[in-house]
Amino acid sequence: MRHYREMRCEDPAEWLSVETRQRDKWKISKGAMTIARGTKNGTLYTTTDGYGLTAMTKGREDPNLWHQRFGHISSQGLKCLHSRGKLPGLKSIEVDFCESCILGKQKRVSFKKTGRTPTKEKLELVHTDVWGPASVSSIGGKQYFVTFIDDHSRKVWVYFLRHKSDVFEAFKKWKAMVENETGLKIKKPR
CA atoms within 13 A on the CB side of 47: 13
Give residue 108's pLDDT. Answer: 77
Q: What is the DSSP string of 49-86?
A: -TTS-EEEEE----HHHHHHHTTS--HHHHHHHHHTTS
CA separation for the pair 7, 29 (Å, rounded): 11
Please give the pLDDT value at position 85. 79
pTM of the model: 0.42
Q: What is the distance between the alpha carbons of residues 142 and 32, in angstroms, rounded to a whole number? A: 68
Cβ-based neighbour number of residue 125 at 10 Å: 19
pLDDT for the residue 173: 96
Helix (H, G, I), strand (E, B), or coil: what is residue 178? helix
Task: List beta partners, residue 11.
Answer: none
The number of C-alpha atoms within 13 Å of 11 and in the hemisphere containing its C-beta is 3
Closest by alpha carbon to 43, among 88, 6, 95?
Answer: 88
What was the pLDDT predicted at 51? 54
**pLDDT tens, position by position, for the chain (190 residues)?**
344 333 333 333 344 555 666 667 777 777 777 777 788 777 677 776 655 555 555 566 778 888 887 888 888 888 888 888 777 777 777 888 888 888 888 877 777 777 677 889 999 999 999 999 999 999 999 999 999 999 999 999 999 999 999 999 999 999 999 999 999 999 988 8
Q: Are 43 and 36 in contact (CB under 8 A)?
A: no
